[in-house]
Amino acid sequence: MMEKEVVTTRPVEANSHPHHYGGTKSSYDDDDDEYNEEIVVGEKPSRLEVWGWYVYELCSYMVQSLVIPVVFPLIISQLQQLSTDDETLRHQWINNHHGMPCPQKQILLYSKLTKRTINITGSHLSSLEWTSIAWGGGLLLAAPILGFISFHLDANQFYAIITAAATGVGVFFCLPAGFFKTTKIFIPYIAGIALAATVASTAHTHYLALMLRPYGKPTPALRRRTRFFPRLSISSWFSLYATAFGSLGAAIVSSLTYHMLREPSDRNLLSLWVVSIFSGLIWLAGVVHVVLISPNRSTTTCSVSPLSSRLYHSLSLFKYPHAIGGLVGVFLSSFATMSIFTGGVLFVVGQLCMRPLHLLYLWLVYFLFPLVSLPLLQIMQHFMRVNSVKMQILGFLLSMFSSGSGFYFWESRWRWSHLLLFGAVQGTATGLLHAFGRVLVLNCAPCGKEGAFSAWYGWVKSVGLCVGFTVGSVAAGRIRASLGAAFCSGIAGIVVLLFGNVSDVGGAVAAGHVAEDNSGDISERPSRSHVGASSGLDSKESVSV
């Protein structure tokens, strides 16, 4: 059985709203106060529930980080025919790459990815650019759908159906990827997967908010021991470990992708189709969490906007400046990490002509190193009492180190050991930015509006990934362009977080998650005594962290 706390419901009277401090009305209060109620939430997540949530991230994280930006451009490239023969292609390569030798198969693969061989009404596009167009189309379709489902998520309706349906749609488009051998069919394929991944990510993020609700309102005993509450520590813990598991899933798919690329050229299309099918089946396996575990969580505890405000429910985020700043950081971090990833892979294959095995090592280090680095950084965060904003800044600094070094030394002769170093650094940066961007937005979400905040988070993150991929694709062969854009994004992200009045503590205050002490002050430091196993997760059936 899950550990329960007392659940009470009472109308909010004047000066007693959770957002009120010191008897004055907060500027972040809703306009519909008469519909709101003060709720004390009750069920803490069990081990099974949290591990199930980790499993879904393990099965879905690779969709936007690897399947769309890597697998599908490779599949499309196998349908392209180059107009030059092999000898002419090799001669052009030597002239454009300073005489650097490269295997013929690698030259052919890079040329099919980057050369603009797709002719649409007089416009010529590459396989990478075709993928970015389809990805953007899926995000345009996702925007109104997210606005619609955000209300139903917050009204505690159809959570399991929304998540399972979105996953099912994505899996459906993964399965027939190599059946129709025409380029145009990949527009609906990739758009459908991008749409499904964004909606599923929104529901997945929203469920994290539901698991965090019991840690939001301190009990009187907890208020006497500390002026803060364990929510920030628990949210960081959950998000970091989920990101590590997601990276493991991406590493598995990247290994399969490399293995299938080793097949003979005439079988590459079929081999990559197998990767797409395998990725879809892994994604489908994550529905176990939705079907078996998620419906057990009691979510009927927070009020939402009245029926007349359904159309404006998703816009409620704009009343919370900290959340807006957090979303800006999410966009910039997603853009920077994907721009570095796309530009870096093309640089390794096309300009450095590294052996394919070294590319596999780079992928494995990029995705597997966070399994070690993120838990270690979580321990550091615990002992140094660092909040999520500072952890995001650390992620931006690591990303700037990677992009800045690549920008400065792009003409140097890189060894594969150098690539492994930067893969480890950038993989850690990507994990930090993903995990703590999600934490910051959710800690700014008041009870009953987590669905709206999750929808904005899922869409903005996907848009950042798509734009970063587009920049890396258009700048193929010009590594300084994509790395320079990523470096500038890192600087902008740090400026926004430092000088944009962004704070997880301030966001939690505005959302009504933080209690004052007797002096009316708010502490900005999480208490060590409430992190980990003592953070309200002390029952035998509660999570062991």
Q: Give how many domains the chain has, as a whole number.
A: 1
Q: Domain of 62: which CATH number? A: 1.20.1250.20
For residue 90, pLDDT beyond 70: no
Average pLDDT over residues 434-461: 89
For residue 25, pLDDT beyond 50: no
In a domain, 352, yes or no: yes
Backbone angles phi, psi at 451, to 5 degrees: -65, -40
Higher pLDDT, 338 or 446: 338
CA-to-CA dists, residue 194 to 199, 254, 412, angstroms: 9, 19, 37
pLDDT the model gives residue 227? 41
The b-or-e profile of 391-416 (16+ CB within 10 A means b, else e) is: bbbbbbebbbbbbebbbeeeeeebeb
Contact 237, 381 (CB under 8 A): no
Average pLDDT over residues 201-212: 89
In a domain, 496, yes or no: yes
For residue 11, pLDDT beyond 90: no
In a domain, 10, yes or no: no
pLDDT the model gives residue 284? 93
Higher pLDDT, 313 or 377: 377
Backbone angles phi, psi at 10, to 5 degrees: -150, 150
Residue 254's domain comprises 47-216+228-297+310-511
Give the CA count within 13 Å in the CB-facing half-sphere of 178: 19
Q: What is the DSSP string of 416-468?
A: HHHHHHHHHHHHHHHHHHHHHHHHHHHHTPPTT-HHHHHHHHHHHHHHHHHHH
In a domain, 522, yes or no: no
In a domain, 268, yes or no: yes
> Could you report the per-residue pLDDT of 122-140, keeping only the tens digit for each?
778 889 999 999 999 999 9
The lowest-confidence range among 351-365, 439-453, 471-485, 507-521 is: 507-521
User: How much of the chain exceeds pLDDT 90, in percent?
Assistant: 38
Where does the pLDDT of residue 515 fall: very low under 50, low under 70, confident under 90, or very high at 90 and above? Answer: low
The rounded distance, in Å, linking the Cα atoms of 183 and 76 is 6
pLDDT the model gives residue 467? 96
From first CA to last CA, the distance across the chain in angstroms is 18
Looking at residue 62, what DSSP letter applies?
A: H
pLDDT the model gives residue 500? 81
Where does the pLDDT of residue 302 fall: very low under 50, low under 70, confident under 90, or very high at 90 and above? Answer: low
In a domain, 524, yes or no: no
Q: Where are the alpha helices (DSSP H) in 118-215?
A: 127-154, 159-174, 186-212
For residue 457, pLDDT beyond 90: yes
Higher pLDDT, 238 or 309: 238
- In a 10 Å sphere around its CB, with 0-12 CB exposed, 13-18 middle and 19+ buried, how is residue 312 labelled? middle
Higher pLDDT, 255 or 105: 255
Higher pLDDT, 500 or 263: 500
> Could you report the per-residue pLDDT of 529-541, keeping only the tens digit for each?
333 333 334 333 3
pLDDT the model gives residue 248? 95
> Could you report the per-residue pLDDT of 249-294, keeping only the tens digit for each?
999 999 999 988 887 666 677 888 899 999 999 999 998 888 777 6
Where does the pLDDT of residue 443 fall: very low under 50, low under 70, confident under 90, or very high at 90 and above? Answer: confident
Highest mean pLDDT among 15-19, 83-87, 520-524: 83-87
Amino acid identity of residue 332, one-letter, is: L
Where does the pLDDT of residue 167 fall: very low under 50, low under 70, confident under 90, or very high at 90 and above? Answer: very high
pLDDT the model gives residue 5? 40
Average pLDDT over residues 177-204: 90
* Residues forming beta bridges with residue 39, ordered by sequence position: 9
When the pLDDT of each residue in the chain is averaged and rounded to a whole number, the result is 78
pLDDT the model gives residue 46? 83
In a domain, 539, yes or no: no
pLDDT the model gives residue 298? 52
pLDDT the model gives residue 18? 33
In a domain, 461, yes or no: yes
